[in-house]
Amino acid sequence: MTSSAAGRARVAVVTGAGRGIGAATVLALAADGWSVLAVDCAADDAALPYALASEAELHGLVADANRRAGGDDRVRPFVADVRDVEAIAAAVAEAETRWGGLDAAIACAGVIAGGAPLWEVPRAREQAVLDVDLGGVLNLARVAIPALLRRPEPRSGRFLAVASAAATRGLPMLAAYCAAKAGVGGLIRALGSELGATGVTANAVSPGSTATRMLDESARLYGLPGAESFGGQQPVGRLLDPDEIAAVLVFLAGTASSGMTGVVVPVDGGLAL
């Protein structure tokens, strides 16, 4: 079980918690003894042509996490859109009020859109990708890092984000997504430098093709029969499971990662090779 020197459970806020990598991360943290505020917009976006996680999915995830954690209600839902910095500030404040502080903020919220050259993608879809996938990480950093720094020294706070192999690969018909994820990598490197010797670190994971609803949408955009078509691109010869990404995020959230900051860790089945 993850705990502080004082023996208390550590506290995390996870965005994009309704499904996919975010949901897997909430489950893994809860199993490791964390108290978690599971944040999701829990609504569709008219600019995007596929369904996002619902409020029912978010509440189902929270119930599952609490069952796995022994039923002690350590995981709580919070509906907020990462594009709304005031709503995300309210989520951070809720975690601090409920559990006495914040030890990790994990930005998993993401959307995908494209399916055409950049200049043909509707402006609203492009903006949704940029505002969620990069702007949402910036918003969480803006309000969560001060909370991480409010912990007394010696600190072991963690700001984490989900980038993508798309940050370093030029994927056709996904230009805005590539740009946003490259921005996440740059942000993490800058935060690692800015946080310096505070005891708070900033790191990210860079997943390859992972079996999520977003990857299903990617397959549709490329006219492929299904997400499994992407598995052969990776040297491991398969899609990754969200649990595999979550396991690395939980490690990075813990105290054993204290020597790492400003790093984007590939969890991509060798895709970057």
Task: Give catalytic residue positions.
Answer: 177
Token couple for 233: 């691109």
Distance from the Cα of residue 166 to its chain's centroid:
15
Helices (H), 69-212: 85-99, 123-130, 136-149, 175-195
Distance from the Cα of residue 114 to its chain's centroid:
21
Residue keyed to tokens 């970057």: 272
Distance from the Cα of residue 16 to its chain's centroid:
6
Tell me if 158 sits within 8 A of 103, measured CB to CB: yes
Token couple for 46: 């008219």
Separation between Cα atoms, residue 105 and residue 101, nearest integer Å: 11
Tell me if 262 sits within 8 A of 229, measured CB to CB: no
Q: Residue type for 53, please?
A: A
Q: Which residues does 215 contact at the CB level (< 8 Å), separation at least 6? A: 209, 227, 230, 239
Complete edge-to-edge strand list for the sheet that includes strand 75-79: 75-79, 35-40, 11-15, 104-107, 158-162, 201-207, 263-267
Token couple for 196: 């310096």
Residue keyed to tokens 């069952």: 67
